């Protein structure tokens, strides 16, 4: 059976639309993947979603005003409530959070 050029283009466009929808859904799922304080990687660095709750006895280097949103590892805008972090892969960290890997260099 021979496929015409028009049939090929229509089939290709349908496949492209389906692929775009799948990629958009995948991106949305990643954006909602928020890091939990109970995550083993988060526990290892003392991550908290509210910086004021940082364990100051365990992490004496913590200073008021240090938050994920002003850390150099944060991959969002400073005003973002959640954003990426180079430490946690695709998981989002709270902009107002903190961990012992905080750096502002």
Q: pLDDT tens digit string along 8-67?
A: 677 777 665 555 554 554 444 445 699 999 999 999 999 999 999 999 999 999 999 999
β-strand partners of 83? 93
pLDDT value at position 1? 65
According to CATH, what is the number of the domain 33-105? 4.10.490.10
pLDDT value at position 19? 52
Q: Which ranges of the chain would DSSP assign to H, the alpha helix?
A: 5-31, 40-44
Domain ranges of the chain: 1-32, 33-105
Please enumerate in sequence order all residues whose Cβ is within 8 A of that of 29, keeping only pairs 6 or more positions apart, or say none: none
User: In a 3-state reduction of DSSP, which class is residue 64?
Assistant: coil
Cα separation, 30 vs 32, in Å, equals 5
Q: What are phi and psi of 89, to 5 degrees?
A: 60, -120
Cα separation, 33 vs 24, in Å, equals 15
């Amino acid at each position: 059976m021979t496929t015409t050029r028009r049939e090929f283009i229509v089939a290709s466009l349908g496949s492209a639309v389906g692929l775009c929808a799948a990629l958009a859904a995948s991106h949305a799922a990643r954006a909602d993947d928020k890091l939990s304080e109970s995550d083993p990687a988060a526990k290892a660095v003392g991550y908290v979603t509210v910086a004021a709750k940082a364990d100051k006895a365990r992490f004496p280097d913590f200073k008021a005003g240090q938050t994920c949103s002003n850390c150099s590892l944060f991959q969002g805008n400073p005003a973002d409530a959640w954003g990426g972090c180079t430490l946690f892969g695709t998981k989002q960290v709270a902009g107002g959070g903190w961990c012992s890997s905080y750096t502002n260099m």
